């Protein structure tokens, strides 16, 4: 055990030294290669995730003993990632209008968000309300610290291969939402888009079936395209502020009275409204960039 612990310390020491070296070279070289900044900030992001997941494992276990894990487990870790990530990654999400009030004052709801890159973990840190869980693919359960934390915190793991197991998981989530007034966060695209333009992948229907089954509203969240901050394909990772807005359709989208037959229309309608907001944010961002160029 001691030998394993020593190797872990060696790895963390080497990892941290490599990260700091990349940061230093990127900061002080006259014309540093872009890849240095990408490596440094990516390593910092993953280290931040590991630290917060380790903290989350301890916090969730403690909160579970106290019977408070459904209320605070994900929220406390999300806030830790938010505040730590501001300094270790250098990225902030700017929540527009009354978005925080909508997220914090409606419960239970199904919160859906567009899924761009791994940096969406940072997005969750900024929007996460209390009394909220998440759905995730089953394979994440086996990842050290992260999987342990998510299991203890009450995440709903979905087996994408076994449809019957996925349906059972959603049934359990719907019951928890009704009984514990527990909200759930889902990325309906199902995977990261890595897009450099404002766009959405086709939506999977699980989030909408869950909302209808539980009889709870849907709160869409749209983050502007942030490829100017993180572009994995171009190996670019900068610091910056990403605007975030809540999309409201007659406030949170109601689902009471809807049935499975309404899910297709609900999915299409919600995606279209989110895409309209995403494209509007893109146009506004482009206009602001042009204004800044003219002023300079």
DSSP string, 219-243: EEEEEPP-TTTEETTTTEE--EEEE
Q: State residue 262's pLDDT score.
A: 94
What are 105-136's pLDDT values in tens digits? 889 999 999 999 999 999 999 999 999 998 88
Beta carbons within 8 Å of 233's beta carbon, 6+ residues apart: 194, 196
Beta carbons within 8 Å of 144's beta carbon, 6+ residues apart: none
pTM metric for this prediction: 0.89
Q: Picking from 83-97, 115-129, 145-159, 207-221, which range would have the lowest pLDDT averaged per residue?
A: 145-159
Token pair belonging to 270: 């919600």
Please give the CATH architecture assigned to the domain spanning 33-295. 3-Layer(aba) Sandwich (3.40)
Q: Is the peptide bond before 60 cis (omega within 30 degrees of 0)?
A: no
Residue count of the chain, please give it: 296
Mean pLDDT in residue range 50-67: 89
Token pair belonging to 207: 């989030």
List strand residue ranges (DSSP E) for the chain, in order: 91-95, 110-113, 132-137, 156-158, 183-186, 218-223, 230-231, 236-237, 240-246
Alpha-carbon distances of 282 from 180, 224, 250, 275, rounded to whole Å: 38, 7, 23, 10
Mean pLDDT in residue range 208-223: 93
pLDDT more than 90, % of the chain: 51
Q: Regarding predicted confidence, which is higher, 187 or 7?
A: 187
Alpha-carbon distances of 156 from 160, 174, 263, rounded to whole Å: 12, 10, 21
Mean pLDDT in residue range 265-280: 94
Above 80 in pLDDT, residue 181? yes
């Amino acid at each position: 055990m001691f030998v394993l612990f020593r190797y872990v310390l060696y790895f963390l020491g080497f990892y941290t030294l490599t990260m700091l070296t990349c940061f230093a070279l990127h900061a002080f070289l006259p014309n540093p290669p872009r890849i240095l900044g990408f490596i440094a900030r990516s390593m910092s992001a993953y280290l931040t995730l590991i630290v917060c997941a380790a903290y989350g494992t301890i916090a969730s276990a403690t909160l579970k003993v106290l019977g408070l894990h459904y209320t605070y487990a994900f929220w406390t870790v999300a806030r830790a990632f938010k505040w730590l990530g501001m300094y270790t990654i250098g990225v902030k999400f700017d929540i527009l209008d009354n978005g925080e009030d909508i997220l914090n004052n409606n419960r239970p709801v199904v919160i859906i968000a567009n899924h761009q890159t791994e940096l969406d973990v940072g997005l969750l840190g900024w929007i996460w309300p209390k009394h909220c869980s998440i759905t995730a693919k089953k394979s994440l359960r086996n990842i050290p610290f992260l999987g342990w934390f998510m299991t203890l915190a009450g995440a709903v793991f979905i087996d994408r291969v076994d449809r019957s197991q996925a349906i059972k998981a959603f049934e359990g989530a719907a019951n928890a939402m009704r009984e514990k007034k527990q909200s759930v966060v889902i990325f309906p695209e199902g995977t990261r888009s890595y897009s450099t333009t404002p766009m959405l992948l086709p939506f999977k229907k699980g989030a909408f079936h869950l909302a209808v089954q539980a009889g709870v509203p849907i709160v869409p969240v749209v983050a502007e395209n942030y490829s100017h901050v993180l572009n994995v394909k171009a190996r670019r990772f900068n610091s910056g502020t990403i605007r975030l807005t809540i999309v409201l359709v007659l406030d949170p989208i109601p689902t009471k009275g809807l049935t499975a037959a309404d899910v297709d229309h609900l999915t299409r309608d919600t995606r279209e409204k989110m895409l309209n907001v995403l494209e509007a944010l893109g146009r506004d961002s482009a206009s602001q960039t042009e204004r800044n160029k003219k002023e300079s």
